[in-house]
C-alpha cells in the first residue's frame, strides 16, 4: 500500500514537471508543429493522458473515457497527418486533470483494498504506475526538445527524486530504488 502511495507521488512529480515544460507557453506554441510529420507539444500532452486513461481502464477498471472525441486524435497509431486539429489548451488541461484524478481514485481504491483481487491488482497497479510515469517522462523529453531547440525556451531543472535517473537521455523511474 505504501508503495502505491509513493508511486502516486512520483506520478504527480512527473505531471508537475510536464507542467513546468508547457504552462508558460502561449497557445500558439503549444499547438505549433516543427514540420508536418512532427507532433505539437499539445499532442504530447493529450497523448500522455490518453495512454494513462486507457492503461487504467484496460488493466484495472472499465470506465468510459473522459473525452471520447479525443481518442483517435491522441492515439499514436494514427499517423500525424490524419490526427486533425488539436483541442484548445483549456480542453487539454481539463482532459489531463480529469485523467489524473481518475488515476488517483482507482489506485487509491486499490491501495485501500476497496477492490476484489486486492493483492493481484496491487501488483498490476505498481507496474502500471511505473509505466505511466516513464511514459510521461518519455514525452517530456520530446516536449523539452521542441521547447528548447525550436522555441528557444529555457528548460526547468530535472525533478528531484532518488528514484529518477537518465537513460539514453530520458528521465526514467527505477521502481526498485
Over the stretch 51-99, which tens digit does the pLDDT of each residue have? Answer: 999 999 999 987 888 898 888 888 888 888 778 789 999 999 999 999 9
3-state secondary structure of 164: strand
Q: Across the chain, what does the average pLDDT equal? A: 93
The pLDDT value recorded for residue 77 is 85
Rounded Cα distance between 110 and 114, Å, is: 6
Nearest to 70 by CA among 58, 52, 132: 52
Rounded Cα distance between 22 and 109, Å, is: 31
CB atoms closer than 10 angstroms to residue 99? 25
pTM over 0.85: yes
* Lowest mean pLDDT across 34-38, 55-59, 126-130, 159-163: 34-38
Nearest to 57 by CA among 106, 8, 119, 109: 106
Domain spanning 2-173, CATH class: mainly alpha
Phi-psi region of 119 (alpha: psi -120 to 50; beta: other; left: phi over 0): alpha
pLDDT above 90 for 148: yes
CA-based R_g, the chain, Å? 16
Dihedral sign for Cα 174, 103, 78, 34, please. negative
> 130 or 82: which carries more pLDDT confidence?
130
Confidence of residue 150 (pLDDT cuts 50, 70, 90): very high
The pLDDT value recorded for residue 121 is 95
Amino acid at each position: 500500500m505504501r508503495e502505491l502511495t509513493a508511486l502516486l507521488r512520483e506520478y504527480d512529480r512527473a505531471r508537475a514537471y510536464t507542467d513546468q515544460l508547457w504552462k508558460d507557453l502561449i497557445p500558439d506554441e503549444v499547438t505549433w508543429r516543427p514540420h508536418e510529420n512532427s507532433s505539437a507539444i499539445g499532442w504530447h500532452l493529450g497523448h500522455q493522458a490518453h495512454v494513462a486513461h486507457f492503461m487504467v481502464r484496460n488493466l484495472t477498471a472499465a470506465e468510459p473515457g473522459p473525452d471520447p472525441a479525443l481518442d483517435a486524435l491522441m492515439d499514436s497509431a494514427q499517423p500525424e497527418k490524419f490526427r486533425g486539429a488539436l483541442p484548445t489548451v483549456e480542453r487539454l488541461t481539463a482532459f489531463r486533470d480529469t485523467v489524473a484524478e481518475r488515476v488517483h481514485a482507482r489506485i487509491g481504491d486499490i491501495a485501500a483494498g476497496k477492490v476484489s483481487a486486492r493483492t493481484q491488482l496491487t501488483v498490476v497497479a505498481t507496474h502500471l504506475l511505473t509505466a505511466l510515469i516513464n511514459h510521461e517522462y518519455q514525452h517530456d523529453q520530446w516536449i523539452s526538445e521542441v521547447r528548447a531547440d525550436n522555441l528557444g525556451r529555457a528548460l526547468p531543472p530535472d525533478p528531484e527524486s532518488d528514484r529518477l535517473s537518465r537513460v539514453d537521455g530520458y528521465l526514467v523511474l527505477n521502481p526498485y530504488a
